[in-house]
Each structure stands twice: as structure tokens, then as C-alpha cells.
Structure 1
Amino acid sequence: MWWFLLCVGVLITGYFTYGVFIEKIFGPEPEKETPAVSMADGVDFVPLSDKKVYLIQLLNIAGLGPIFGPILGALYGPVAMLWIVFGCIFAGAVHDYFSGMLSVRAKGASVPTVVGEHLGTFAKHFMNLFAVLLLMLVGVVFVLGPAKLLANLSEMSITMWVGAIFAYYILATIVPIDKIIGRFYPLFGALLVFMSVGLMIGLGFSDKGFYSQGLEFGKNFHPTDLPLWPLLFITIACGAVSGFHATQSPLMARCMQNEKSGRFIFYGAMIGEGVIALIWCTLGLSFYETSDALNATLASGGPAAVVHEVSTSLLGTVGGIMAVLGVIVLPITSGDTAFRSARLIIADFLKVQQRALPKRLLIAIPMFLVGFLISKAEFGVIWRYFGWANQTTAMVMLWASAAFLLKRDKLHWVCTIPAMFMTAVTFTYLANAEIGFGLDMTKSTIIGLIMTVIFTGYFLVHYRPAKSKLVESSQQ
């Protein structure tokens, strides 16, 4: 427990130190009108209070990722907690802050437009396709995950719950953002707090401790000897660094009323998600005696089985059900905004105005039909593609953020270094994984490093600081 509290303390310290440093580098301008004010339309551009925007952002980004990912990551041992802490502070929260603030500066534009503005037309077209693919995968994953948990708590089948969740997603995707998302998310947030705090209190009063082997950070505890590199950094995405967040931040960039609120809303929400990830990683490490015991539960029912077993054991039947419901809230409140983001990206690409309901339905209905077809694939396969697509999106967004800073002669390395790291991770994984090229780890790592050198070299040569007058005009 003390190690968990120390990690949480480091995360909070990071918000008040490195978060402030990142904010100063970007340079928010409180006197500027944000898109929520200048472009208010009553549907997607709706001014909301900072507290409400923060809570919605947290629930948007905290889906199954910071629960299922850290549970799977716990198989590797305590080193997973280090990745959550340092990945969150130096990569994930930086990624989220810039994805949100660059959207604010781009009049609430979605991630493809933001990426295209800073990396060029090819990157924009690539992200138009890639972001929609990622959001569809996210939406489907965040249907199947909660459906399985709800089926465990009721007599309804998974298929019936899938249909019910899809029906809710359709409604939440097409109505104005303040009608469902802005109105009910505070209640969901209370359930989330109960789940998080309750489980840690339950763990504190139990006799559970870390794996019987102890705090050995240099050891890979994975029962099947899967390599730490690069799998840990793909397995634990949400909670450390996640490209999915770049698709969600523009939703709140369209509701935020002051640029100065960006650190609290974007950087702060990522720190909040890091705490959630630490909770579930700690539970995975502490509830089970060994990684083999955790792996046995995962083999019998996946991460959903771990959530159910841990929650009911630590909090009893009623408390466990409440905790499981808190876990169910997370993917549902991310799945609806995933499809909403996909609708907006497609609308931006097709230049279809979204104020009128029929035009929203014109995009939403075919999109959900495709999502339903994807949901028929095996969950494990969908999750692996989601993990790679997620981290690849983060890589591209970090390079776009670095380009924004470099062009303005600012300290771009705060984005360039994590972009380089994620480039090595994603290309190594693609070269090695079964969903990729299936090469051995040595060759895959070499490919990952070569691609990182190529990307970095091109970036430093192609993007140069602009003259001060051009910079000033481009920031308007």
C-alpha cells in the first residue's frame, strides 16, 4: 500500500511541477475567446464550467484502458507501476494537454485537422482514416467489455446487453452534448470515486501484499515470459499514454471557456486516469499471490473476471456490485464519446454541417452498422489492434505537438522525446506481433530504432523555427 501511495504522490507532484512547466512552454492566452464562446451552436460547441468539463474529460478518456490494461500489465510485475507514473507525467499528460490546446487554437478542430495543420496534408489524410478506425475499435471494445460485466451481474445475455449499449450510444452520439453527457456524467463520476476509493480501502484492510516475490523492479514476472519490451508499453496505454485521448480532447476543447483552464482539464484529467490505472495495477499485483494465479483468472474469464473477483472479495456482494458498476461506467462513458468523435471527424472530412438532426443521423446510422459488424470479431483480436492503433495515434499526435513547438522556436524536446520513444515502441511491436510481420525481437527492435532515427532526422530537418512575425500570425 505504501508503494501505491508513493506513486500517487509522485503523480500529483508532477501535475504541480512538470504540468506548470508544460503550460508555460505552450503559453495559454486567457484573454482569447475559446471556440465554446465564439462558435457556440448548442450541439457540440457548448460553454460548460471547468469542473464539469474536467469530469467529462476524465470519464471520456478513462474507459476500459486504465482498468484492463493495468490488470494485464500487472503480469509483468511492479515495473508496470513505474511505466504508469513516468509515462503519465512525461508523455501521456503532455500528449493530452497539447491535443486539447492545439484543438482550442484550431477552433475546436478534430485530431486529423490539428495533425494536418502541423505535419502537412499527407498526415491529415492518414489521420482521417486512422482516427476513425481507432474510434470504431474503441467503440466496439467499449461495448463488449461492459456487456460481459453486465451479463455476469444479471440474467440477460451478452448479446442483449450489446444491443442495449449500442442503443444508448446512438442516442448519446446524436443529441446535444449537454443533454446526456453534460447532465449525467457528474453522477457517474460519484460512482467512479466510490469504486476507486472503496477498493483501495478494502485492499488496505485486507492482508494482501504484492506478489510473494516482493518489489523486484528488474525482474519480469510474466508467467509465459512475454518480453517487457515493447509489450508493456502497448498493454498499458490508457493510464500512461494513449492516442485515443487525442480524439476526445477536441470534444472538451469545444466546451472550455478559458485557455488557462487547459492544464486542469487536459493535463489534470490524465493524472486522474493515471491514479485509476495505479489502483488496478496495484490490485492485480496485490490480490493474487503470484503472477501465475492472476494469469489463471485471466485465462478463465479475461480482465472482466478479475474485476468481478477482486471487487466482490474486497467489498462484499453489494459493495462489489457497486464497484463493478463503477467499472462499467468507464467504458460506456468513453464508448459514447468515441462514436461521437468519429461522427465529428467524418462530418469535418465530408463537410457535412451537424446542427440539424437528420444530417447527424446520416453519418451516425452507417457508422453504427459498421461498428456492429466489427463487434462480431474475436475480442482478443480487436483488443490487440486497438492497442497498436492507440499508441500509433499517440505517436503521430506527439510529433504534431513537437512540430508546433519547433516552428515557434520553443522547447520542442518535451514532445519530441516521448514521440521518439513511442515511435520505437509502435514500429517494434508491429514488426514483432502476430498482427504485424511476426519477426523475432532482435530484428524487430532494430527496425523500431531505424524508423525512430528516420522520423527524428526528417523532423529536425524539415520543420524549422519560423520568423517571429509569421509565428505571431499563425498563433492567432
Structure 2
Amino acid sequence: MSSLTLIAIAIIVLFIAYLTYGAWLAKKWGIDPSRKTPAHTMSDGVDYVPAPAPVLLGHHFASIAGAGPIVGPIVASIFGWIPVFLWIIIGGIFLGGVQDFGSLFSSMRNDGKSIGHVIEKNIGQSGKKLFSIFAWLTLLLVVAAFVNIVANTFVSVPAAASASIMFIILAIVFGFAVYRKGVPLLIGSIVGVALLFSCVYLGILFPIMLSKTTWIFILLGYIFVASVTPVWILLQPRDYLNSYLLYAMIIGAVLGLVLYRPTIQLVGFAGFNVGGSYLFPMLFVIVACGAISGFHALVGSGTTSKQIANESDAKVIGFGAMLIESVLAVIALITAAYIGGDKLAELLKNGGPVNVFSNGLGTFMTAFGLPLSVGVSFTALAISAFALTSLDTATRLGRFIFQEFFEDNSKEVQSILVTNRFISTTITVVLGGALALVGWKKVWPIFGSANQLLAALALLSLAAYLKNQNRDYKMVMAPMIFMFTVTIFALGLLIKANLAAGNLLLVGFAVVLLILALVLVSQSYSVLFGNKKINSESNKSA
């Protein structure tokens, strides 16, 4: 089969889904363009800052993309390209799109607060506490993992380090120019994007070579600053400009596929048990961000909901960004599927999924005259830029969730831990950094299941919210039940495997997650399947 046919089918189906299913969801949930968003009603110049739709789409897309939609499909290709492709398309539309759009919407209707706050209002305070603890611990894993990913990339591709530093400086200048000096967004974007690609070129000319440990400490310092700085100075402009790297990468990949026309070599279906890994539930855990990811819900209900300027933007930002990411996931799958066999195994062994993706896109781009080395380097630079974006977004989300956890405590505790963003950020960065330096690899295998459990809990939160608002929530129930089933099976397999290996730490983590899931499901049962409502008075205005 031609990979060009595969990507064409994906783009057409996802675009139709955006126009039809996305519009249907917006109508069912009551998107109201005339309603003021938290970015306006709670504007503080730090976290709540209205952003134009293209800028916020860039931030949101850059934050949720990272390396997830690239790594997941390539690793999952062991099951064959057909099940991975089908899950990316079906999951992206009916699970990931619903979760991302719905999490952004429900947060937007609850003062831009996190999923934990929505759970508190619609399920109960204990549910919020349990979810907040789980989400914060998961974000520590995200910080630890992405610090290592970015540091490793900077060591192996020094050009990515220098280009990233120049990106940050450029973003600060762009933010001041657009938000404080009144430079029109269109003009600022044209100049900014031109300078952005100049940074890529200069990065290749002037690489920075430091040790991994040095980069880890530099990155920890950076994410602290990025978390406490007003979003208009760094987060919004950097993510917006960086999104053009990803758009360029996707366009280059599609154009390369049209001209190169690679044929799929990978087997269509390899079986339900491949090397001891079962298609169910592992396919749905491994693909992650390309179809559905709990981290997306944290982004939508953490930073994005505080910046959305008009409710009508929620469809393109929440639902649209997820579908674009599914396109990226299909491209990643093709980079593995067109190779197949021993060459794929060799690339995975020598550089991992990012190596497979970079070499694949670099090869496709040679079809329109781009040298292979330039294409491979550009792709690696783009991936590192988005891993860094996910990293600083995760740190800010960790601060938000940490602060919200202590909102109901005494005024003394609130004044120290809730209003002081420096303390909550320091705790998040220090603990995440400690995991990055000494222990994150020991708990990394649990991350995939934890991420998908987050997705199930986000869907649970959305279902309870819509039920209490007397709105249609049937489109949420099937995805929620499916994701809980997948997660519980995956955790069961993880517990079994690690008991046999004697790894009690991972067993403990898995058991805690399993208990958390069961407790929250139990607490929400009467809300979803009975007549119970939590704090219904406060929900009337939502």
C-alpha cells in the first residue's frame, strides 16, 4: 500500500470530523461566543491573559505535542500498521478530541480552574484531593522525563541547544513587541518566523556542547523562570513561534510523501501477542498522545483555559489541535512502516523512535531537494523544541495544581502555598529535578498507564460536569469506560510483571493508581448513574 494513500485518508477523515463532529459537540455543550471567558473576567497579567486564537493554538498545540505523537506510534508499530492507524483515527476523533475539547470547555466554565476543581464541584472535595495528588505526581514524572529527553537531545545534537536558547530570546522580544509595543500580530509573526528559522540555521553553525548533568541544571533553572513569569513574556510567544516549526515539519513531511511516494513495508497485522506484549491493552497505552492523552486535559484545563479570548475559539484549539496531532502521529507511523524489517530494528536500537522519525522525514524531504543531513537535523531540532515546550508547560501546570490543592486550608497556609507561586514552583522543580537526577527511570514504566488513567479521569470529570448541567454526556461515557478498562488491564499486567521481577516500587505505584481509579469511580457512580448532585447551586451559573 502507498503511504501517500494512508496520509490522504487520514487528513480527509480528520478534516470531515472537525467540520461535523466538532461542530456537533460545540452545539451540544452550548458554546457561547457572547459569554466572557476567564481570561477577561479574571485577567491578572500573569496567568489569565487573553490571547488571539492563532497564538493560543500555537501554545496549546506545541504543549500537547512534544515527542509523544512521534514516539508512541513508532513503538506501537510492532503490532502492525493497521491497528495503529485505526486507533489513531478513531481514538483521535471520538476519544482524544472529546477529552481535549471537553476539558478545555469545562475548565473555561469554571474560572479556568483545573480538572481537580471541576471534580470537586461535581463529584466532591475528596475526589478533588485524590485527583490533585495523582495529577501532581504524574507531572513530576513528566518533568523528570522531559528534562532527561531534552538534556540527552542537547548532548547528542548540540545545534538543538544553541537554537533553543536563541528561540527563548526571540520569544521574549516578540512578546514585548506584540503585547507592549503594539506591533501587529501579522507583522510580528512574519518577522518572528523568519528569525525563528534563522535561529535554526545559526544553531547548526554554532552548536553548544555541555555535559548532560550541566544541561539538567540549566533546564531546571529555565523551567522555574518559565513557570513564574507572566505568560505573555515567554510562554505564549515561545510556544506560538515554535508551533511554526511543527507546522513546517508537517508540511515538509506531507510534501515529501507526495513526491517521494514511499511504499509501506511493515506487516499490516503482526498478531495479538508480539514478544509478550499484548495488543489489548498495550496498543492503547503505547500510542498515547496520537489518539488520547491525559496530559492534554491538564494543558487544556491548566494554561489554555486561562488564555482563551472567546468561547468560539475552543473548538479549533481543543478539538482541532488534537486532530492535527493525529496527523502527526500517522506521519510518525509511516516513517516506521515504510522501512520495516531489520533496518527499522537497527534505527530503533541506535537512536530510538526519534531517530526513526528524523531519518524518515529527512529521507522524504530529499524528494524536493533538501539534503538528507539538513532534513534530519531540522527534524531533530523541531522535536527538541517541542519537548522543551511540554516541559515548561508541565512545570506551570504542576504549580497550578499544587496551589489549588491548598485552597481550602487555613488562611495562613493559603498565603504561603496558594498565593506564592515561587514556593509552589520551587517544590515542583526540586522534586521533579531530583527524580530526573537519581530515580526517574525506576518509575518510568508506570508513566504510560498513569497518563491514560489521567485521560479516563478527565473524561469522568467531564461526564459529571455535563450531567450536573443537564447537558448531553453520552458521547463521553463510552470513551470513559473504555479508557478505565484499558488502564485497569494495563495496570494488572504491570503489577504481575513487576511482582515476578521483584520490583516492589513499581508494584506500589501501580496499586496506588488502581486504588485511586476505583475510589473515584465509586464516588462518581451516584452522580453519573443516579440523581445525586454536588454543589448544584454553584453549578447553576457555570
TM-score after normalising by structure 2: 0.78
Distance apart, 1:425 and its partner CA: 0.3
1:21 pairs with 2:71: no
Matching residue of 1:414: 475
1:304 pairs with 2:354: yes
C-alpha distance in structure 1 between counterparts of 2:129 and 2:527, whole Å: 22
C-alpha distance in structure 2 between counterparts of 1:244 and 1:255, whole Å: 18
Matching residue of 1:94: 98
Match of 2:255 among 201, 213, 225: 201
Deviates more, 1:275-284 or 1:376-385: 376-385
Write out per-residue CA displacement over residues 310-363 of structure 1, whole angstroms, 9 at most, x where no aligned residue.
344444112221111111111111110100011111112224779999922222
C-alpha distance in structure 2 between counterparts of 1:178 and 1:353, whole Å: 26
Q: Secondary structure at the match of 2:221?
A: helix
C-alpha distance in structure 2 between counterparts of 1:119 and 1:318, whole Å: 52
C-alpha distance in structure 2 between counterparts of 1:333 and 1:14, whole Å: 28
Q: Secondary structure at the match of 1:179?
A: coil
Match of 2:377 among 311, 321, 334: 321
- What is the CA RMSD across the aligned residues, in angstroms? 3.0
Distance apart, 1:368 and its partner CA: 1.1
Which runs of structure 2 are paired with 1:363-402 in the superposition (5 Å)? 363-377=424-438, 381-402=442-463
1:141 pairs with 2:121: no
Matching residue of 1:264: 316
Deviates more, 1:236-245 or 1:345-354: 345-354
Distance apart, 1:32 and its partner CA: 2.0
Structure 1 unaligned spans of 5+: none
| 2:540 counterpart letter in structure 1 | S
1:404 pairs with 2:404: no
| 1:89 counterpart letter in structure 2 | I
Matching residue of 1:228: 279
Which runs of structure 2 are paired with 1:455-470 in the superposition (5 Å)? 455=521, 459=525, 463-464=529-530
Deviates more, 1:296-305 or 1:396-405: 296-305
C-alpha distance in structure 1 between counterparts of 2:539 and 2:114, whole Å: 21
Q: Is the 8 A contact 1:72 1:235 kept in 2?
A: yes
C-alpha distance in structure 1 between counterparts of 2:440 and 2:260, whole Å: 33
Distance apart, 1:472 and its partner CA: 9.8
C-alpha distance in structure 2 between counterparts of 1:145 and 1:393, whole Å: 22
Matching residue of 1:32: 35
Match of 1:43 among 35, 41, 46: 46
- CA, structure 1 residues 436+430, in 2 after alignment: closer, same or farther (shift >3 Å)? farther
Match of 1:350 among 406, 415, 423: 406
Q: Secondary structure at the match of 2:288?
A: coil
Q: Is the 8 A contact 2:71 2:353 kept in 1?
A: yes
C-alpha distance in structure 1 between counterparts of 2:64 and 2:374, whole Å: 27
Q: Is the 8 A contact 1:406 1:412 kept in 2?
A: yes
Matching residue of 1:116: 120
Q: Is the 8 A contact 1:408 1:466 kept in 2?
A: no
Match of 1:174 among 208, 214, 228: 228
C-alpha distance in structure 2 between counterparts of 1:377 and 1:71, whole Å: 28
Which runs of structure 2 are paired with 1:324-339 in the superposition (5 Å)? 324-339=380-395
Q: Is the 8 A contact 2:80 2:266 kept in 1?
A: no
Matching residue of 1:125: 129
Distance apart, 1:186 and its partner CA: 2.6
Q: Secondary structure at the match of 1:333?
A: helix
Deviates more, 1:111-120 or 1:308-317: 308-317
Q: Is the 8 A contact 1:312 1:319 kept in 2?
A: yes
| 1:299 counterpart letter in structure 2 | K
Matching residue of 2:484: 423
Matching residue of 1:245: 296
Q: Is the 8 A contact 1:53 1:256 kept in 2?
A: yes
C-alpha distance in structure 1 between counterparts of 2:356 and 2:152, whole Å: 12
| 1:459 counterpart letter in structure 2 | Y
Matching residue of 1:70: 73
Deviates more, 1:138-147 or 1:331-340: 138-147
Match of 2:218 among 164, 179, 196: 164
| 2:479 counterpart letter in structure 1 | P
Write out per-residue CA displacement over residues 229-275 of structure 1, whole angstroms, 9 at most, x where no aligned residue.
00011101112111111211121111112222211111111112111
Distance apart, 1:285 and its partner CA: 1.3
Deviates more, 1:410-419 or 1:149-158: 149-158
Distance apart, 1:21 and its partner CA: 1.3
C-alpha distance in structure 2 between counterparts of 1:347 and 1:456, whole Å: 26
Distance apart, 1:166 and its partner CA: 2.3
| 1:323 counterpart letter in structure 2 | T
Which runs of structure 2 are paired with 1:203-218 in the superposition (5 Å)? 203-206=257-260, 208-213=262-267, 216-217=268-269
Matching residue of 1:59: 62
Write out per-residue CA displacement over residues 157-215 of structure 1, whole angstroms, 9 at most, x where no aligned residue.
332332332232122111000101122223211211222222343344446321254xx
Q: Secondary structure at the match of 1:17?
A: helix
TM-score after normalising by structure 1: 0.88
C-alpha distance in structure 2 between counterparts of 1:212 and 1:340, whole Å: 40
C-alpha distance in structure 1 between counterparts of 2:418 and 2:405, whole Å: 18
Q: Is the 8 A contact 2:88 2:290 kept in 1?
A: yes
Q: Secondary structure at the match of 1:140?
A: helix
Structure 2 unaligned spans of 5+: 159-208, 366-371, 408-412, 501-509
Q: Secondary structure at the match of 2:36?
A: coil
